[in-house]
Chain A
């Protein structure tokens, strides 16, 4: 039986209207990946707690996304990233993705699930469905703005820095690798720092419990609208390397844009907060898996025996014919 979980998705800052009622999404992040069950089986069963409730004259509920502004004024990243860039990048490109997303999901099954779930479902394991580009790009751009801040850059600290040192050798090596990924993503796309906490689901193997070393930071790059959610990673940081992200300010000089981003814009605070949430969700997921495994163990019939055998244990019987 599929375990359904209702919880607030803590990793995704809301894009909902201020007056939104329920902010609870009806699925956890984990559900599409339990075993290899198709994600599509999960969400129709869920109680449709809408994120935004809007009733029109005929009392029809629709869910729509709204364009959320960056967490700073459009000129706040100057002189590194111009106001003009923000005006177009956020005001036109990002806005268009959100508008298209709404157009594409209205009246379809995709109106119910959270944005992350829409992304995973429409990614369709690589055989991309039409709404994917809009959904993923709407998410990617929110994530990108929130990965930056005025006066950003510098170095991370604490757990995050420790993990970076552990998984990349040093902060400098991490920076090099991240910048290289961003520079070599051919065509449009993104480079990411992500937290990878998943394990190969091999149902008949004995999987030792993962130690903390099985969970690690990784750098990945992705083309066009693809993001690490589709690989079941927890994204922590991204840089948009579509040409529209840097062309007005840097023209063809992508490498310069990338250095600027690292030195002046990265919000390590945001990355840190995401890492904490990722660790918490990974731990929760593990506990759930442990619980589920235990349940399955308890109900599994032992080999060669009748199902009835189990029941018989609880039945008092003086019948000697069973006593063999």
Chain B
């Protein structure tokens, strides 16, 4: 899954440093993954200004704070400080969730000339028709649910591996999709925090949700779907 591969990729480069620093198990630290495209490549659906801020500031901050929280957690576990261990859970969920979600998100987007917006084919396309009737219906549903999120959050297309069906879910703040079910795997997530669209769309979140489909990377979602439903 995207996140696991992300973590291991980082440990390949950082693992050596970490083992020198800590006496017990190596503590993985995370760093900002590169975008697979330029900041301006998703225009006009999403502006380069937004992409740059979103990636370099927001995502980076989640990673920085996630690393900090993990370090504190590590210490607290070693000391047996249960109070602190529990107290840190919300910071880990916020910031870790932020890192997980945004890492998926960058892969969910792709410039038009690289296939962004092209409808899914293969097994995912078929599953969408089966579960929702048509791609258009699914898109409407995701957009409607995304627009209805109060405050900050995400809207997801997920695969419920247990029930073997596609689901549309929303999560609040940076809660990852797994908080909606241990067996639900994210295929596609759309960030509906205001920072994801405000500079360009202001309060018109529905317009953002209408336009983002032009740069949605269904190839990635298909890949995850095929792997997880094998």
Contacts and interface: CB of A to CB of B under 8 A. Distances in A.
B94 A133 contact: no
A274 to B, nearest CB: 25
Contact of B198 (A133, A187, A189, A243): A243
Interface string B153-186: 1000000000000000000111000000000000
A252 B194 contact: no
B9 interface: no
Interface residues of B, number: 20
Contacts of A244: 194, 198, 202-203
A93 interface: yes
B152 interface: yes
A243 B152 contact: yes
Interface stretch (B23-31, B53-61, B68-76, B135-143): B53-61
A202 B172 CA distance: 36
Contacts of B194: 188, 242-244, 247
B22 interface: no
Interface string B43-57: 000000000010001
B57 A224 contact: no
Given A243-B194, A247-B195, A247-B199, A187 B53 contact: no
Given A252-B57, A252-B58, A188 B152 contact: yes
B172 A187 contact: yes
A44 interface: no
A272 interface: no
Nearest to A88: B202
A186 B150 contact: no
A187 B175 CA distance: 11
A309 to B, nearest CB: 57
Contacts of A225: 150-151
B151 A92 contact: no
A251 interface: yes
A201 interface: no
A185 to B, nearest CB: 10
A243 B193 contact: yes
A257 to B, nearest CB: 13
A248 interface: yes
A77 B89 CA distance: 39
A223 interface: yes
B199 A248 contact: yes
A96 interface: yes
Contact of B94 (A186, A188, A224, A251): A186
Contacts of B203: 88, 92-93, 96, 244
Given A133-B150, A243-B194, A92 B53 contact: no
Given A96-B203, A186-B173, A243-B194, A252 B53 contact: yes
A117 to B, nearest CB: 21
Interface in A230-264: 242-244, 247-248, 251-252
Given A187-B173, A252-B61, 19 more contacts: A88-B202, A93-B203, A186-B174, A187-B151, A188-B194, A189-B151, A224-B151, A225-B150, A242-B151, A243-B194, A243-B195, A243-B198, A244-B198, A247-B198, A248-B199, A251-B195, A251-B199, A252-B53, A252-B57
13 contacts: A88-B203, A92-B203, A187-B152, A189-B151, A225-B151, A243-B152, A243-B193, A243-B195, A244-B203, A247-B194, A247-B195, A252-B61, A252-B195
Closest 10 CB pairs of A and B: A243-B194, A188-B151, A224-B151, A187-B173, A187-B152, A252-B57, A92-B203, A247-B198, A188-B152, A186-B94
